[in-house]
Chain A
Amino acid sequence: MPRLARLVLRRLAGSVPVLLIVVVGVFLLLDSAGGDAVDAYLVSIGGGDAALAEELRARYGLDRSVLARLLLTLGQLARGDLGWSVALNRPIGAVIAERLPNTLWLMGSATALAFASGSALGIVAGRRPGSAIDRLLSGGSLMLYSVPSFWLGLVLAVVFAVRLQWLPVSGIETIASGATGLARAADVARHLVLPVAALGTIYLALFLRVMRAGMVEAWGQDYTLAARARGVSSWRVALNHAARNALLPLVTMLGLQAASMIGGSVVIESVFGIPGFGRLAQEAVAGRDAPLLMAVILVSAVMVVAANLAVDLACGWLDPRIGSGRGGRG
């Protein structure tokens, strides 16, 4: 555990310059967009006089220069304080703590679904490249991969929630149900079925194709040929020899997809009304809330760094030749 913690910290420290550039860039970009938080607020309340706008700007600290506001926010971040959200009128730390779990559940379940079924189907397809089942799975996955996730989400919602009414249309849990413990977990799980299916299915296709490609490559290698020459059954060769080696690029892909998965969950959260990170980012931009947007982006970046770290560790476990930072193939 301490070694892991050190590794995480080293990775994070290494990403500080990048994060700093991203955070400052986001701040300046949002600042250069027309209008500020008070403009957004005045529109939302249907208008107010000029003195009111001035009072609000003073109250929110928007009467200060760009540089002063940027330095203030960076200083707060350096002290580990995410600051105050003007758009939501709440501390940003609390908002993040509220929204992050929803997004993590969504992304985590979707990733698990996509990875598990994608790799399994990839093995089936790649066991005998060119076979009928391979053509079916490869073709199907190509179709799935071309489907926009929001469209798939809407179709799933119309079929399973509106028509069949098997599952809830939207939300993360039944409103004001008062359920606790297992009943609540089950309720959340029911709400996650459709969004996870919509988000996961598309990545499933991706993992399927990568797994299949890895399998096809493995069949051309000497070790599979040798195994088959020894008379090992074709399923055992597929699972123990080809698939094991084809898994590595798949796990690497998992890390690479972490960032795009966050982007995908923005769309899915909106379709299924899940109060997660994606909606928070959208609210931050619409409300011209630079500190909130910076916090969302920072936390997302940390999540991506952590996901990649986990992938590195997993690769090291799958392939002993890859040491944790001590040379080797990776």
Chain B
Amino acid sequence: MRALFSRRLISRRSLLGSAAALLGSTALPRLGFAAGAVRLVAAADSEPRQLNPAIVASNGVFFIASKVIEPLAEASYDDGGLRPLLATGWEGSEDGSSVTFALREGVSWHDGKPFTSADVAFSAMEVWKPLQNIGRGVFANLEAVDTPDDHTAVFRFAKPMPLQLIANALPVVSAVLPKHVYEGTDIAENPANAALVGTGPFVWGEHRPGEYYLLRKNPAYWNAGEPRVDEVVFRVLPDRAAAASSLEAGEIQLAAFSAVPLVELDRIGKVPGLEVVTKGYEALTYQLVVEINHRNEHLKELKVRQAIAHAIDKAFVLDTIFLGYATAATGPVPANAPEFHTDDVTIYDFDVAKANALLDEAGFARGADGTRVALRLLPAPYFNETKQFGDYLRRALAAIGIDATIVANDSAGHQKAVYTEHAFDLAIAPTVFRGDPAISTTILVRSGVPDGVPFSNQGGYANAEIDRVVDEALVTLDPGARVELYHQFQRLVTADLPLINVADWSFTSVASDRVENIATNPRWAVSNWADVGLAD
């Protein structure tokens, strides 16, 4: 079409020809599905600014890039929780000062060069540690990576590093880049960040902005027999209604990450040939959290925070907002992380009378209009559910005499208002649990986080006891002792309420029943899909 457009003159003959072709084509089957090639088409709701998963560890990037560039290990439902990918084994030293990775042999990059320990050392020292949004924290104390041979990489840390934390972080932080493509370049601006080179089951095809990403089968993939489809296409569909209708029309076979809105699931689940899958996101659990600005003179009173916790009817939130696709949260670690979760914590039942009594005790009496306190409430705009919960919370707070005014922003505005300017009293955030509390959970309550860091403690909360437990868990090598510290962390947080955890939720997928091996691991949507098949 662009070729047609750029031609200065469109002859009458060519116009007649296209008209005839148009008439003819309506009678033809769908164009473009080349005979023989098995193509899986999935909906993508966004196009990340850059796709390099070693630099940007985010679900939006992983969704596409994880099929091309692989991490050392992937999350697994099996015991131990990890499936080896580019690393076949890992072992920590007694003193926690090093972790030794045995690397897979016989793996080559998509350009044919062999994968070696030099690639891992380069990725860790030049990319994960200095550039990656998550790796900058996890690898802050990484001093060097030794490569005694081509298939061994020894990570040396300045401070003792729990193997448990490193292992839990592997699926997220350890996407390995080819050293020979990146060395000596401006890594953040390397063209390979847009046309990925990896070791994964799929090779980069092309990206047509606004339309699709195309990945092709890697015939030389290290795991013989995989991948099972010839092409994976990510169709860009930012409009949420489009994902559902494209599924029904058979134009796409998969919509992951709740691209089909919750209210549509009941209906679409009954469409012949389509199924709703709720598994496969356990390691991508989100938490619906009420963030609290402790600089506010009312909110710094524990009784006020407790009253707010008692005013929230979690059952109503789960039924009405999440339509049952969520569970009640007990604290800052979701039940989907059984390794760390405990429900031996302070639980706040829905009890409006108790909430009112707590506010009375705190000395915040109702005024003539029934209002005790007026607050600003900023729901995060990223999910329908966070916005809807904002509306609910406003009403729930009104019942206990708190007059909350909703301040609506878009993503950038919300980030600035809450996490930089602290222009909020209460905010609603969808925080993510990423396999280990040390990765992105403790930062929500640890003091001393600089201004401007999204999804962190920007409420001015400081609790020396919580800080001590958080810091100790960072250097505790014994897994059992470390878990105990995180149980203590959950008890402290639920007792003092630096924030209020309301619900834990994961995503849903809607897929054609022809798609095989959906949800085979707890990070399925962002894993490499090597075993995914498409039946005839």
| A contact set with B: CB distance below 8 Å | 33-37, 39-53, 59, 87-90, 95, 98-99, 101, 104-105, 154, 157-158, 161-162, 165-190, 270-273, 275, 279, 285-288
B133 touching A170 by the CB < 8 A rule? no
Is B241's CB within 8 Å of the partner chain A? yes
Chain A residue numbers with a CB within 8 Å of B61 are: 45
Known: A44-B49, A166-B26, A173-B1. A39 touches B17 (CB 8 A): no
B150-180 residues with Cβ-Cβ distance < 8 A to A are: none
A184 and B30 alpha carbons, distance in the complex (Å): 12
B210 touching A48 by the CB < 8 A rule? no
Question: Would you list the 9 A-B pairs with minimal beta carbon distance, nearest first?
Answer: A275-B210, A177-B32, A35-B412, A34-B413, A35-B416, A174-B32, A50-B450, A48-B133, A40-B412
A185 and B417 alpha carbons, distance in the complex (Å): 47
A186 touching B415 by the CB < 8 A rule? no
- Residue pairs across A and B with CB atoms within 8 Å: the count is 217
B454 touching A48 by the CB < 8 A rule? yes
A40's nearest neighbour on chain B, judged by CB, is B412
Chain A residue numbers with a CB within 8 Å of B450 are: 49-50
Interface centre among B3, B30, B411 (most CB of A within 10 A): B411
A183 touching B21 by the CB < 8 A rule? yes
B200-248 residues with Cβ-Cβ distance < 8 A to A are: 205-206, 208-212, 214, 231, 233, 235-239, 241-242, 245-246, 248
Is B384's CB within 8 Å of the partner chain A? no
B407's nearest neighbour on chain A, judged by CB, is A34
Could you list 19 examples of A-B contacts with CB < 8 Å? A34-B409, A35-B412, A35-B414, A40-B411, A46-B454, A46-B455, A47-B454, A47-B455, A49-B137, A51-B136, A52-B136, A53-B453, A175-B233, A176-B206, A183-B21, A185-B1, A270-B238, A273-B242, A279-B210
Interface centre among B188, B238, B250 (most CB of A within 10 A): B238
Q: How far is the CB of A306 from chain B (nearest CB, A)?
A: 15
Chain A residue numbers with a CB within 8 Å of B409 are: 34-35
Known: A43-B454, A275-B211. A175 touches B49 (CB 8 A): no
Q: How far is the CB of B439 from chain A (nearest CB, A)?
A: 10
A46 touching B251 by the CB < 8 A rule? no
Known: A183-B21, A183-B31, A190-B22. A162 touches B248 (CB 8 A): yes
Contact of B31 among A34, A162, A174 (CB under 8 A): A174
Q: How far is the CB of A109 from chain B (nearest CB, A)?
A: 12
Q: How far is the CB of B186 from chain A (nearest CB, A)?
A: 10
Is B2's CB within 8 Å of the partner chain A? yes
Q: How far is the CB of A278 from chain B (nearest CB, A)?
A: 11
Contact of B58 among A33, A40, A46 (CB under 8 A): A46
A185 and B233 alpha carbons, distance in the complex (Å): 22
Known: A47-B455, A188-B1. A165 touches B50 (CB 8 A): no
| B contact set with A: CB distance below 8 Å | 1-5, 14, 17-18, 21-22, 24-26, 30-32, 34, 41, 46-50, 56-61, 133, 136-137, 188, 194, 205-206, 208-212, 214, 231, 233, 235-239, 241-242, 245-246, 248-251, 382, 409-417, 420-421, 432, 440, 449-456
A34 touching B417 by the CB < 8 A rule? yes
Chain A residue numbers with a CB within 8 Å of B34 are: 178
A186 touching B241 by the CB < 8 A rule? no
B22 touching A186 by the CB < 8 A rule? yes
Chain B residue numbers with a CB within 8 Å of A161 are: 245, 249
Contact of B18 among A180, A189, A285 (CB under 8 A): A189
B209 touching A275 by the CB < 8 A rule? yes
Known: A184-B1, A279-B238. A42 touches B188 (CB 8 A): no
Other than A39-B413, A185-B4, give 7 A-B pairs with Cβ distance below 8 A.
A42-B133, A44-B60, A105-B1, A178-B34, A182-B17, A184-B3, A286-B410
Q: How far is the CB of B209 from chain A (nearest CB, A)?
A: 6
Interface centre among B4, B210, B250 (most CB of A within 10 A): B210
B411's nearest neighbour on chain A, judged by CB, is A43
A104 touching B453 by the CB < 8 A rule? no
A11 and B468 alpha carbons, distance in the complex (Å): 70
B32 touching A178 by the CB < 8 A rule? yes
B245 touching A157 by the CB < 8 A rule? yes
Q: How far is the CB of B115 from chain A (nearest CB, A)?
A: 26
Q: How far is the CB of B158 from chain A (nearest CB, A)?
A: 18
A288 and B413 alpha carbons, distance in the complex (Å): 9
A143 and B145 alpha carbons, distance in the complex (Å): 71
B1 touching A101 by the CB < 8 A rule? yes
